[in-house]
Amino acid sequence: MMRTDIEFNAEGAVLRGWHYVPDTGAGPFPTIVMAHGSAALKEQYLDRYAEVFAAAGLASIVYDNRNFGASGGDVRQEIDPILQMRDYRHAVTFAETLPSTDAQRIGAWGTSLSGGHVLMLAALDRRVKCVVAQVPTISGGQGALRRTRADQMAASRARFDEDRRRRFRGEPPATMPLVAEDPQTPCFNGGADAWAFFQESLKVAPSRRNEVTVRSAEMLREYEPGSYIERISPTPLLMIVGTRDVLTATDLALSAYNRALEPKKLVLFEGGHYDPYINQFALSSSAARDWFVAHLCQ
């Protein structure tokens, strides 16, 4: 396996990451495009997934989302779900330019928020021949209602409104914590497991910042990737879902899976939203690998 640094233009932002090429034979190779969810960085275990794929003969394009990590972007620490999804399409186009890529065998892998991105991607871009959505965001609106207590909803809306007034006056976007140890502190990803994952992942991504723009949370509420799921077929879809996921709720994922058309497969694992990266890594990585191999390497 060989890993090289890459960068490519995404119509206004330069996205940077890694290109993994297997040493299992001569190319061109089936190639997987992949980025992390929301504000996470590629160093947070995506290298481990790419290494598993490479051992099976799959190349990978792994990159940081715009505004985060090594990638460019004008508004740092801002999550724009639609732009992140469109950047996957730029990554596919970039992959097509590489001599090591078999352009007829491109797959997409996403997790958490980017799990929602790849659902939309596969529905909209037929260059993608196979897709894996791990603990995917199905509905930004429904997810926000699940994660925000009713007595905190008015305060949440007030933060959005005030941030819009600030920006209208020419002030920079307001920010909020990505995660918080105190459950009473408003943040983008609430819950003790989100805080624990952030602390654990600082070991591999020490530059990660616990901050996103308030506008990120507002834009997430507008994002409904699950509404595209019926349009993915005939592209093969694998969904990897946790039985106790409270961030991208298990029932929303299962309901979306039931709406998807064939060919499709569901892998359920025991655990919550952050377990696939560490505790359930062997299961999540091998399930994705096997799906890609079955549909891209035959």
**Percentage of the chain surpassing pLDDT 90?**
90
Mean pLDDT across the chain: 96
pLDDT at 126: 98
pLDDT tens-digit series, residues 223-279 = 999 999 999 999 999 999 999 999 999 999 999 999 999 999 999 999 999 999 999
Are 177 and 168 in contact by the 8 Å Cβ rule? The answer is: no
Inform me whether the pLDDT recorded for 27 exceeds 90.
Answer: no
Structural domain spans, the chain: 2-145+224-296
The residue type of 253 is A
- The mean pLDDT value for 144-159 works out to 82
pLDDT at 147: 74
Q: Which CATH architecture has domain 2-145+224-296?
A: 3-Layer(aba) Sandwich (3.40)
Task: Choose among 59, 77, 84, 67: nearest CA to 6.
Answer: 59
Instruction: Kindly report whether the global pTM for this prediction surpasses the value 0.95.
Output: yes
pLDDT digits (tens, 9 = 90+) for 69-92: 999 999 999 999 999 999 999 999
| Residue 146 predicted with pLDDT over 80 | no
Give ∠ CA 46-47-53 in degrees, rounded to 5. 95
Mean pLDDT of all residues in 4-19: 97
User: Residue 238: its pLDDT value, please?
Assistant: 99
DSSP 269: E
What is the rounded CA–CA span in Å between residue 126 and residue 103?
A: 11
pLDDT of residue 153: 82
How many CA atoms are closer than 13 Å to the CA of 217, on its beta-carbon side?
29
Q: What pLDDT score was predicted for residue 181?
A: 95
Distance of alpha carbon 41 from alpha carbon 209, whole angstroms: 10
